[in-house]
Amino acid sequence: MTTTTALSKQYDPSEVEPRWFRFWNENGFFHADETSPTVPYSITLPPPNVTGSLHMGHALGSTLQDILIRWKRMQGFNAMWMPGTDHASIAVHVLIEKDLKRRENKTRFDLGRDEFMKRAWAWKERSGNRIIEQEKLMGFSLDWARERFTMDEKSNRAVQEAFVRLHEEGLIFRAKRMINWDYASQTVVSDLEVDTVEENGSLWELKYPLADGSGEIIVATTRPETMLGDTAVAVHPSDERYKHLHGKEVLLPLTDRRIPIVAVELIRDGKPWPDPAFGSGAVKVTPAHDPNDYDASQAVGLPILQVIDKDGKLMAPAPAKYVGMSVDDARKAVVEDLEAGGFLGVVKPYKVPRGRSQRSGVVIEPMLMEQWFVKAAPLAEKAIAAVEAGKTKFVPELHVKTFMHWMTNIQDWCISRQLWWGHRIPAWYCQGCQDIVVARAAPTGPCGKCGGALVQDEDILDTWFSSALWPFSTLGWPDKPRELNTFYPNNVLVTGPDIIFFWVARMMMFGLHFMGKVPFRTVYLTAIVTDEDGKKMSKTKGNVIDPLDVVYGATLETLLQRVDVEKPPGDHDSIKKAIRKSFGKGIPPMGSDALRFALAILNNGSHIRLSVERVETYRNFINKLWNASRFALMNLDGYDPERFESQVASSGVAGRASLGMPERWILSRLQAACAEVDAALEAFQFSKAANAIYHFIYDELCDWYIELAKPHLYQGPELEQDPAKANRRHVVQGVLASALETTLRLLHPFAPYVTEEIWQKLPKPPQLPGSLMITVFPRADASWVDAGAEAEMQLVQNIAVSCRMLRATYNVPPTQRIEVEIRVASDAVRAQVEKYLEMIERAAKIHAKVGDRGGAPLPGAAKAVVSAEVEVVMPLGGLIDVGAEKARIKKDIAKAEKEIATIEKKLENPDFIAKAKEGVVDEQRTRLTDEQTRRQRLVDALETLGAAQ
């Protein structure tokens, strides 16, 4: 016997959630044992940035990962989900440097490297774990005991080892190449960290006089200031206009230099460069500050003159007048001076693509600098082959194209950064002979070649270098511990499609190179979360929905105040206006489960347009489940799970015979739901799985089963006199309790908290484990499919719905148990209807009797045609509005006739009869007969009404 505990009328997540996270964690349910003999299933969480807090993208990705890992854990896999955080070097720099500037008006260079690192670590210790705490609040079942950081000791070792090995293999090299320079952060940034936007600029025509005085040549530029660093003018070799000028020189205006006119031919994006069709066909060449120009200089051997320095200011050999000017100032001055000298041609407005640093926002300067690079092509080759061979699959598959496109056009990866927060490059330079030593440990003595002093490279590695190692560095690589063997490769990686290049591609390359195996078998790419208008969420727009605000709720005032406290860039008034528009009534507390379920069910297609209202729908759903459970718990007094188990659940066909039709029906539907959820999850169709559960709970369990169970449960003292009824009650209790228990298991990966809370209170057989999260995930069992029960239930539902429709149409109050006649066309149907008459009466809140379809018309009655064999007649006396009733029936007739016409047309077509697939023709014939009967019934009803008038 179990005592039931009353639940509150409304589910209160704030009371429930904290208890269960602690419980799961303290019992070690999150931890996977690498020595376990069970089949492993592993996922590595893309480590969030330590500077960040949990945003909707994280909430979505982590929710989906948690669904997978909880599902697999319940299926008996040795499920391991690896947590950790990423050091995010440049993001941390920006943050700390900003703070330094504000508080002490200092730069990192004023502070010095050691002191800066001390502060960075202190900051990381203070706020770096915020996101971890937030992940815990969402109930994510990460293996917290394994938590890692990309700059912890083990990761440092992995990074060093990887660097040294790649260097030994010739896959890391140092070279002078064109890179992207962010002068505000004083570092190289990767191509991927540069946002190219079209800005309004100008196209200036410059006239360069020929040195022999025989005329001039016109070039065009969007950056006139760079002309100070020109070392040639390039023309296409086949351009007839310039053939006579090849090898001649021009006098470079504003300087005292003479530069040659050279014939060059490069191919850029399949087009010739210089392109004779563009402008004058002649191009000024500034090798130090333009990638095309640099390539041209290499092709024909031109000198390279750097005229812009690391601070974005002009430098010698630019004429002294311009030295020290910013690029923008220099541009103005140069244009002015060119005009004064008569060197300026036509100037027209022009859209200029401009690269800006994602981090600092400043214009990126292409610069020629000595840097460390990873030779990417050979690594990419392996990654491409692995994907082609199906060793790693992309879901949805269309993302393969993005991946392949990038991989096949891959550039060498510049990995050195002129920052401090990160992994210092393990390379030492000899001050004497310039020899470079790359080593796992700092060299102890002087240079082995010349005895000179060795000094370590000042630079650090790109953050993504350590991220690329993450799937195996977290498992102990370069050592070969047990966990590496158990959990590598991961089964799946879940991330946003925006991270394919940054992370997925690089993990694939390093995973294959160092481990010889792909890092994960499947890459699942999530939707992108936007606001309800489809716009990217951003603090500067004020349309951000913070996951924790959704979970715990936030008043409008809190949201507005936060703008002042956090000071996002931009116009605060318009940010606040946007917040008022989206969150006018604040955000009510929804709980983690509601948010998680919403994200899972909305994760179809490429975007999730999220709004408070949409999460509210699923909060209501969670509350619905809560109340269904509340109902069950209130009616399970005297229920003995073990007795039910032995009588029904485990006694096979015999036990099932003791079940009523609704019991067999709900168990049949439940098994269908289990099959659908399982199949959907196997295919990463989270939305489909969530939908199946949602509809099972609402449309089947709550709307029908619970309603039909009520009369059997609501029995009082008379049970003692009637053992049959008592037994029946017990069976219904058992089906309700066990169906609910199975439903909770199905839903648990999506909504862990509410399901655990209910499950703990539900009476259940004692052999079950102590937590829902370690029970067995429901497996579809086809033996519970009961087509007969489903068909009978369908009949009951159809009749009840027709009765409700008539009742609603005529506003018959529910308190009025109106008499309805159910007219049937055959004895077989009559028997079924009679058998389930009480159910129909209860579901439709009517009194019913069964009549003959051929019965005499009832005056003043409304009629609904349920099917070809059943119709319901509701006598309404004076209540009936004959006109409205006629209109309603006429509409139905029109519908039926339209159907009939469509089907007849099909059947009259000889080609259809001859060529249609097997069964289709018969199907259409049956449909036609049904529709024709239906129409006839409706026409009869219409005539009856006419007669009654």
Please report, in angstroms and rounded to a whole number, the separation of the first and last CA atoms in the chain.
63
Is the distance from CB of 406 to CB of 501 less than 8 angstroms?
Answer: yes
- What is d(CA 309, CA 200) in angstroms, rounded to the nearest whole number? 25
Q: Indicate the DSSP class of residue 227.
A: G
Amino acid in position 623: N
- Minimum distance from residue 541 beta carbon to RNA (Å): 12
Is the distance from CB of 532 to CB of 545 less than 8 angstroms?
Answer: no
Residue with Cβ nearer RNA (458 or 923): 923
How many secondary structure helices (H) and strands (E) does the chain include? 32, 31
- What is d(CA 555, CA 480) in angstroms, rounded to the nearest whole number? 52
Calculate the alpha carbon distances from 700 to 92, 378, 634, 638 in Å: 52, 56, 20, 25
- The DSSP string of 870-913 is EEEEEE-GGG--HHHHHHHHHHHHHHHHHHHHHHHHHHH-HHHH
- What is d(CA 252, CA 295) in angstroms, rounded to the nearest whole number? 21
Is the distance from CB of 230 to CB of 216 less than 8 angstroms?
Answer: no
Residue with Cβ nearer RNA (107 or 538): 538
- Return the ∠ at Cα 334 (arms to 328 and 340), rounded to 5°: 140
- What is d(CA 890, CA 939) in angstroms, rounded to the nearest whole number? 8
Residue with Cβ nearer RNA (720 or 911): 911
Check residue 370 and give left, alpha or beta (phi > 0: left; psi -120 to 50: alpha).
Answer: beta
- Minimum distance from residue 201 beta carbon to RNA (Å): 9
- What is d(CA 126, CA 149) in angstroms, rounded to the nearest whole number? 14
Residue with Cβ nearer RNA (39 or 808): 808
- What is d(CA 636, CA 133) in angstroms, rounded to the nearest whole number? 38
Of the candidates 87, 122, 742, the one whose C-alpha atom is nearest the C-alpha of residue 419 is 87
The pairing of strands 393-395 and 520-525 is: parallel
Residue with Cβ nearer RNA (198 or 781): 198
Provide long-range contacts, Cβ within 8 A and 24+ apart, for 807-814.
Answer: 807/844, 807/845, 807/846, 807/874, 809/862, 809/884, 809/888, 810/862, 810/874, 810/876, 810/879, 810/880, 810/881, 812/874, 812/876, 812/879, 814/845
Residue with Cβ nearer RNA (33 or 707): 707
Helix (H, G, I), strand (E, B) or coil at 779: coil
- Minimum distance from residue 224 beta carbon to RNA (Å): 10
**Exposure b/e, 100-114, CB count within 10 A at least 16 = b:** beeeeeeebeebeee
- Minimum distance from residue 846 beta carbon to RNA (Å): 11
Residue with Cβ nearer RNA (613 or 718): 613
Query: How is residue 170 written in tokens?
Result: 């010739």
- Minimum distance from residue 526 beta carbon to RNA (Å): 13
Q: Which residue has the tokens 């299933």?
A: 41
- Minimum distance from residue 151 beta carbon to RNA (Å): 26
Residue with Cβ nearer RNA (445 or 919): 919
Helix (H, G, I), strand (E, B) or coil at 204: strand
Residue with Cβ nearer RNA (146 or 284): 284
Residue with Cβ nearer RNA (271 or 577): 271
Distance of CA 587 to the CA centre of its chain: 22
Residue with Cβ nearer RNA (205 or 249): 205
Helix (H, G, I), strand (E, B) or coil at 519: coil
Number of CB atoms found within 10 A of residue 168's CB: 10
Contacts of 444 (CB under 8 A, 6+ apart): none
- Minimum distance from residue 899 beta carbon to RNA (Å): 7
Amino acid in position 169: E
- Minimum distance from residue 637 beta carbon to RNA (Å): 13
Distance of CA 845 to the CA centre of its chain: 46
- Minimum distance from residue 680 beta carbon to RNA (Å): 11
- Return the ∠ at Cα 214 (arms to 211 and 215), rounded to 5°: 90
- Minimum distance from residue 434 beta carbon to RNA (Å): 31
- What is d(CA 518, CA 490) in angstroms, rounded to the nearest whole number? 9
Q: Which residue has the tokens 């009939």?
A: 900
- What is d(CA 522, CA 710) in angstroms, rounded to the nearest whole number? 47
Residue with Cβ nearer RNA (9 or 22): 9
- Minimum distance from residue 932 beta carbon to RNA (Å): 12
- Minimum distance from residue 634 beta carbon to RNA (Å): 6
Residue with Cβ nearer RNA (771 or 809): 809
Residue with Cβ nearer RNA (532 or 940): 532
- Minimum distance from residue 747 beta carbon to RNA (Å): 15
Of the candidates 121, 129, 135, the one whose C-alpha atom is nearest the C-alpha of residue 60 is 135
- What is d(CA 608, CA 148) in angstroms, rounded to the nearest whole number? 30
- Minimum distance from residue 482 beta carbon to RNA (Å): 38
Residue with Cβ nearer RNA (37 or 813): 813
Residue with Cβ nearer RNA (85 or 603): 603
- Minimum distance from residue 95 beta carbon to RNA (Å): 23
The pairing of strands 607-609 and 528-530 is: parallel
- Minimum distance from residue 841 beta carbon to RNA (Å): 14
Residue with Cβ nearer RNA (37 or 349): 349
- Minimum distance from residue 912 beta carbon to RNA (Å): 4
Query: How is residue 545 written in tokens?
Result: 């929905």
- Return the ∠ at Cα 90 (arms to 89 and 91), rounded to 5°: 95
Residue with Cβ nearer RNA (398 or 453): 398
- Minimum distance from residue 604 beta carbon to RNA (Å): 4
- What is d(CA 243, CA 906) in angstroms, rounded to the nearest whole number? 74
Contacts of 21 (CB under 8 A, 6+ apart): 136, 137, 139
